[in-house]
Structure formats: structure tokens, C-alpha cells
Structure 1
Amino acid sequence: MTETATAPAGGLPEAVFDPERLAAVAASGLLDTPAEGTFDDLAELALAITGAQKAFFTVADGRRSFWKAAIGLDAGAVRENDIRDSPCHILIGTGLPLIAEDAVNDPRIRDLAAVGALGIGAWAGYPVVSPEGHVLGGFCVVDQDARPFTPGQTRALQTLARSVSSEIALRQALRQARAAGDASAALARTLQDSLLPPRLAEAPGMDAAAAHLAADATGEAGSNVVGDFYDLFHTRGKNWAAVMGDVCGKGVDAAKVTALARYTVRAEAGQHTHPSVVLHRLHQALAAQRVSDRYLTAALASFRPAADGVGVVGRYASAGHPPALIRRADGSVEELDAPGTLLHPDLPPAQDALKDTTFRLFPGDALLLYTDGITEARDRERGPLFGDARLARTLAATRGWDAARTVDHLRRAVREHSGGHAVDDTALMLLRVAGGPA
């Protein structure tokens, strides 16, 4: 069941005035700008799917909710309202969807001025987020009468909200690249940076580190720098998730898939505890959105503190991705694999081919997620690949090390092996349970 927002206690949520969120709103470049076909089309689609009368994409600063898209209103209508009057501030405060099927009797929104002013009988909305994860506003539909929203309709709204978030991320990356006068390779580099978390979240009791190693900046491989991505994020309760993915290809098309994948996994992992289900939902989003025909591999681990308080327990699923590795506290290395095929819009539904594997990490144990750029690394003379066995031995040699030192050791080892030559991007992320032998 989808977790939905509850109304904030008293006044406006502190998140509305968070300086980092307000900076992200300003950086979006959307406030006080004219309507655009890209966003209006998504809002029109929301109406077609739900049968509602009005649809909005809103961007909210600290005082008002600006309607970048407002379908179902008169062309000359004012395109904003006070942030205190809009349900949008609830989305910002919670980061969760808000589904109010009987608005005038729903204690979360019934006293908001917008309910009467806009004739809201039912309201359903999802957060729109920045590349850094800040809630910029919301994507919602409004019905004049109280009514239920079916699971299919709410899933569609969620997908459309993710599409808006993806569009914003790509626009910002393109603006940054153009401002710097970048050529195509540098543009792809900027896109990559916009689609990787600027810093990893801090999961309780875990030590985490990640690295992204860019392919050579010249030749064909030099422009293939936007396919790898990773993320670590809280889902709900005590649950966390870590994802690693690799999109085939290069340039803006690959970046579009990367953006859709990252936001889809974040959204779906908050609703489903089984990684295989999340990856299946990602496959459905790829087929529905068809932002590109690129292939995608992904590995997803969900985890939480063990019931006995010792380490963490989790589930792992893979969609055609290299198997994760577990480095035990004693230095031994185990392969964590799960069946699953790679994802592509034209492939059959992957649900039956995706399976979960359970795992447990004790103090001092670590989980490594990576892309095949590390195992396929070789020098310019096309010498031996770095390979799976060498990766396992290199990881085993980091017994007792923290996450940052371990990732740095792996990065240095692959660079030394390849002589600094890289034909493909490489991404690494290591999660270590605190404690264990030094």
C-alpha cells in the first residue's frame, strides 16, 4: 500500500523554508515563466487517465505555489496561490503523495482556501523533486466531486511526476553545460554529475562511500560518460535502499534513461520492500515512457537493522547486473547474485525473471555494488582484463578498512592495472556495517 502524507502539525512545515530547497527552486528556472507544451502535455495526459477536470504542475517557494502547468483553468486566470492555501506545502513537508478522495471532509486539506476557491472535491498529487532530492512542488489532479482514485490512476500520476522531475534535471544539466561552453563530452560529463548524488546519505550504523571513474575524454569512449549511476536513500521506517545501474550507450539519450531509472527506483522502493518488485516496476516505466531504446542493467539492495540488533538484514535483486560482493569482517569474499535479465522497453515483462536473494551483514562486513567498467578494465595494449577474480582478491585485501579507504584502494588498483586507460565508465559503492575487527 502506498504511504501517503498527513497534514503537518500547526503552520507551514520547516521544509518549505529550507534554504537548500529554496535554492533548488531558484535553480530550476521555472518560477514566473510561461506555460510550456512539455509540462502541459503531461498534465493533459493526467486528465485523460484519471478523468479529473483540472491538472497542475506547481513550483513553490516560501510564499506562493506557482502553477507552471494549469490545465482546466481559464487562459487568463492567475497562475498561483498563497503557499498556505495550497496542498502543495504538505507534499513539501512530507515528501510523500497526498490522496484526498473527499477533500471537503479530509482533515488534512479541508480548511485550505484552495478547496473552496478551486472547487476541489477530490485531490491527488505527487512530489516533484530536484536532482538533489529537494521537493520543488507537486504534480496533481483535481476533481470537482469526491471520488476514489484507482491504483492504476495513482501509479500513472506517480510516473508522470517522475517524468517532470527527470525533465527538470536534464534542463538544469544542459544549462550548466552551455554556460560553461562545454563540447559534447563535457556536456555528457555535466549530465552525469547532475544524475549522481552529490554526497551519499548516512544510513544509521553504516559506513558508505562511492566513486565514479570517467572513461577517457577522447575518442568514441570519451563521450560515453553518462551511463553509470548509483544512489543510497532512506525508504520508510527503518528501511534503506542502495541501487547501482548501467545504461548502454552515451549522451543525452542515455542520460534520460538514467534520470528515469533513478527517480523510479526511489519512488517505487518507498512502496515495495522487495527489490525484484521495484526492478519490475522500473521495467514497466521504461516501457511506458520510452524515453530511449537503451538497455539497462541494475542491482538493488534493500536493508534494515537486524531484529537482534546485530548488523543488518536485506534483500538483493539484479536485472542483468554484475553480482554484488560481500567482504566479511575476516577478509573472505562472497558473491551475492540473483537471477534476472537486463531491462529494455521492448523486452517481455521481467517480473517472473527477477528474484530476490536474502543476505545478512554483521559488524565489519561490507557490501560492494559496481558496474562492469571495473572488471573489464585493461591497458591500451589490450592486455588482460582486471576481471572478477582480481576484483575479489583486491577487495579481500581491505579487511578491517572503512568504506572510503576501501573504495579508494579499488579505484587505485584498477587505474594501476589499466595504466589510467578507461574505455568505459566505472561506478563503485561500498556499504560497511560499523564495528567489527580493526
Structure 2
Amino acid sequence: MLLQFDPARLLAVAASELLDTPPDGTFDDLAQLALSITGAQKAFFTVADGRRSFWKAALGMDPAAGRENDIRDSPYHLLIGTGQPLIAEDAVTDPRIRDLAAVGALRIGAWAGFPVFSPDGYVLGGFYVVDRQARPFTPAQTQALQTLARSVSSEIALRQALRDSLALGAASAALARTLQDSLLPPRLPDPPGLDVAAVHLPADATGKSGMDVVGDFYDLFHTRGKNWAAVMGDVCGKGIDAARVTALARYTVRAEASQHTQPSTVLHRLHQAIAVQRVSDRFLTAALVTVRPAPGSAGFAGRYASAGHPAVLVRRAEGTVEELCAPGPFLHPDFPPDAARRTDTAFRLGPGGAVLLYTDGITEARTRDRGPLFGDERLKETLAATRGLDAAATLARLQEEAGKHSGGYAVDDTALMLVRAIPPS
């Protein structure tokens, strides 16, 4: 698992409460001191989650340029991966960073940066200077930059200790929600010919909705050629252990689906990763669907495999609903991966047809007095009644009907994703 996606590190980033906040005089002063010491043109203090590098301080930058960039485009991700300083005296020729988009976009000739740490030792961000020309940095300059980076770390620890002493309980829900959001895609892509939508709905069975990180997750991504993959998963339990399994599952599936076309093979490889890495003893269920344009006809051809997950549903354009069957055991580090048998089920999506992936939170919806479950059959009936609706409207209708049944009460977290073949205009 890439360190930038480590749930414990993401939780530390959330606890810092620095993302998406205004410029701060203290950090700007330290950045200005870095410019004075090194003679560089730009100085930054950045904080990053799994996707982006947010510039808390950015001296020498045009404000119109914004305050963030993709973490993959910046040398900053190397600080996360190593926890060590990075000095590139000639960025254009340095093999570690020369191919990064930021080198050209920010006109980086030389780069000198040091990691900034959370109180418990996770890399939150980086403190660094940028020069337009290739140049050396003297030992005194690098020592000063390291001292300034430690000062940033100390300032963060001081502020966090103060906040925790004042409002420890009130902060926990916000921290959990931030970590949860980091484990889900910020937005779904727009595959050609497909209409897609997804939602994640937290439970309130304990009266503490959002107070802990849950294991429901989904993802939609391009694999290769014209192939796309959709995955839905549910990790047993909540908390940091569930988040670790979620992160491992999501990024393992992405990596393996780019190499293997059969969903059953991808789930087998995920099972192996869970058994080898043993990030937790939680079990995981997952459903994986792949789709590609159907050769010689309109619509899409699909394949589906399951690891103990609720069966996906296919809604035909005329409104009929079919439950796809692809039996397979759930995933657990103590289960021998090679003993598990999974099969692929082929299906087709004609124009207007759709496939629904979901967790059991929706079928287990019920009132506070433990009335009847919403159930599998009611879900199928509701889905059938959405004939003609697009993906977002379909999910909204499912949420609405489940909410009516339960009186707005959610006993378990729910994730829904719908992939629909766009009909001709």
C-alpha cells in the first residue's frame, strides 16, 4: 500500500485541521525566513491527504494559481514515501523528479525540502524552497531549512494539544468523516457511453453518526483499452483496522484489474494480498464488475464475480430486474486463498440497462423498533420501478424508499453505485 494512503497517516492529517484553511501568519513567517536564508524565489509549507498537496503557505506564488496540486505531480510525495529530506540541485536532470508535472508548471530549477511530522511521527507535509535556476544549497542553508521544518512540526503539535485539551470529544466526528472521505473517490469518472452515480450514507444506529470510520467502500476506474471496473466492498466493523483493510482492498483491486481481465482473478489476488500483508484480522466482502462496449452491437458486455457480497442486480431497459449469481467466499487473512473457488458470471447491458452494486445497509433498513427489513425483494421492486431514470435519480429513489420504510433511521452504513448504459438520444 502506498504510504500516502496509509489510513493512520490520513487520520493524522485530519487531526492537524490544516487542510483547506486560510494562510497563517506563523507559517508564512517561517517561509519568509527560508527565502531570506537561501535566496530562493519560492517557499512552501504543504499538507497532503491521499490525493492532493495543499499549500498552507506559498510565498512567491501568484494567488490566482490556486493553493493545491495533485500529489503525484509534486516532489512532495517522495517526502511521504521516505520520511527523509529531498535535495535536487538540478531538478530538470534529477531522475527522481525530472518527469513530474510540477517541475515545468512551477518552473523548478532546484528544490530543497524536508518532511513535517505529526506528534505521533506521521509525515503530514513538507517545508521546502524552490529556485528557478539549478543551484547548490550550502550545508548551512540545508541545516537552517531542517530547523525551520522542525519548527513547523512543533507549532502543529502545540496547536493540536491545545485543541484536544479543549474539545477532544467534539473533534472525533470531524476527524472520522475526513478519513472516510479520503478512502472514497472524490468524484466518479465519466466513462464513454456510461452514466454512473454513487452514494455513501452513514448509519445512526448508535446515535453517533459519523463518529467512527466504517468499512463500506466503492470505486470506478478505467483498466485498459475500453474496459472499466466497478467495485463495492464491506469490511467487518469500524475504526482504524477497518480503514486499513479498506485502503488495501481499494488500491489492490485497482492495480490487479489493470493486469487481469477476469473479476474472479482480481478477487483471488486481493485475497492473497490480505493473507500476506495481514493489516488486520477483519473479514471483507466484495463485488467486482467489469464492462466494455459489446462487440458488434449497442450496449455493454460485462463480467461479475463476488467474494461473499450481496448479489448485484441488473435492471433492464424495460424494467425487469435480474439478480446475478456468482458464489464465492468472503476474504479473510486466515482463509487459504488457493482453497477458495470463485467464478465469473457474464451479462449484457442493453441501452438503458443498468447494474446496481450495494452493501447490505439498504436491505437491512428498518425502523427503530426493529420492524421488518426493507429486504431483497423490496429492493428489486423499487429498482424495477426506476425504469427510464438516470443513475443519480435511480439512487435517489432507492434512498427515498428505504428511508420511508425505516422512518429515516439507518441501522447500518450503506453504499450504492449504479452503472447505466446510456440509451440513444
TM-score by length of 1: 0.62
Is the 2:219–2:250 contact (alpha carbons within 8 Å) kept by the matching residues of 1? yes
Whether 1:421 aligns to 2:419 is no
Give the counterpart letter for 2:195 in structure 1: D
> Higher Cα Rg: structure 1 or 2?
2
Following superposition of structure 1 onto structure 2, how do residues 329-408 of structure 1 map, counting pairs within 5 Å?
329-349=317-337, 352-408=340-396
Is the 2:363–2:373 contact (alpha carbons within 8 Å) kept by the matching residues of 1? yes
Instruction: Select which of 48, 53, 59 maps to 1:26.
Output: 53
Following superposition of structure 1 onto structure 2, how do residues 77-92 of structure 1 map, counting pairs within 5 Å?
79-80=87-88, 82-88=90-96
Instruction: Select which of 167, 190, 200 maps to 2:188.
Output: 200
Cα distance change, pair 88–244 in 1 and its aligned pair in 2 (3 A): farther
Q: Report what 1:215 is aligned to.
A: 203
The CA distance in 1 between the partners of 2:316 and 2:99, in whole Å, is 41
The CA distance in 2 between the partners of 1:263 and 1:63, in whole Å, is 21
Corresponding residue SS for 1:244 = strand
The CA distance in 2 between the partners of 1:23 and 1:247, in whole Å, is 20
Instruction: Select which of 286, 296, 309 maps to 1:308.
Output: 296
After superposition, the C-alpha distances for 1:121-151 in whole angstroms (9 at most, x for unaligned) are xxxxxxxxxxxxxxxxxxxxxxxxxxxxxxx
Q: Report what 1:287 is aligned to.
A: 275
Q: How big is the shift at 1:64? A: 8.5
After superposition, the C-alpha distances for 1:46-72 in whole angstroms (9 at most, x for unaligned) are xxxxxxxxxxxxx8755788555669x
Cα distance change, pair 274–387 in 1 and its aligned pair in 2 (3 A): same
After superposition, the C-alpha distances for 1:374-429 in whole angstroms (9 at most, x for unaligned) are 11110001000000000000000001111111000001111111111112100000
After superposition, the C-alpha distances for 1:101-137 in whole angstroms (9 at most, x for unaligned) are xxxxxxxxxxxxxxxxxxxxxxxxxxxxxxxxxxxxx
Structure 1 gap segments, 5+ residues each: 1-20, 30-58, 94-174
Corresponding residue SS for 2:365 = coil
Is the 1:68–1:79 contact (alpha carbons within 8 Å) kept by the matching residues of 2? no
Corresponding residue SS for 1:368 = strand
Following superposition of structure 1 onto structure 2, how do residues 54-133 of structure 1 map, counting pairs within 5 Å?
66=78, 79-80=87-88, 82-88=90-96
Is the 2:205–2:411 contact (alpha carbons within 8 Å) kept by the matching residues of 1? no
The CA distance in 2 between the partners of 1:200 and 1:327, in whole Å, is 21
Q: CA RMSD in A?
A: 3.2
Q: How big is the shift at 1:371? A: 0.3
Q: Report what 1:226 is aligned to.
A: 214
Corresponding residue SS for 2:175 = helix
Is the 1:213–1:427 contact (alpha carbons within 8 Å) kept by the matching residues of 2? yes
The CA distance in 2 between the partners of 1:65 and 1:376, in whole Å, is 41
Q: How big is the shift at 1:354? A: 1.5
Corresponding residue SS for 2:337 = coil
Which moves more between the two structures, 349-358 or 379-388?
Answer: 349-358
Q: Report what 1:321 is aligned to.
A: 309
Is the 1:66–1:80 contact (alpha carbons within 8 Å) kept by the matching residues of 2? no
Q: How big is the shift at 1:190? A: 2.2
Give the counterpart letter for 1:340 in structure 2: G
Fraction of identical pairs, as percent: 63
Is the 1:283–1:349 contact (alpha carbons within 8 Å) kept by the matching residues of 2? yes
Cα distance change, pair 342–224 in 1 and its aligned pair in 2 (3 A): farther
The count of residues paired between Structure 1 and Structure 2 equals 302
Is the 2:205–2:412 contact (alpha carbons within 8 Å) kept by the matching residues of 1? no
Give the counterpart letter for 1:196 in structure 2: L
TM-score by length of 2: 0.64
Q: Report what 2:419 is aligned to.
A: 431
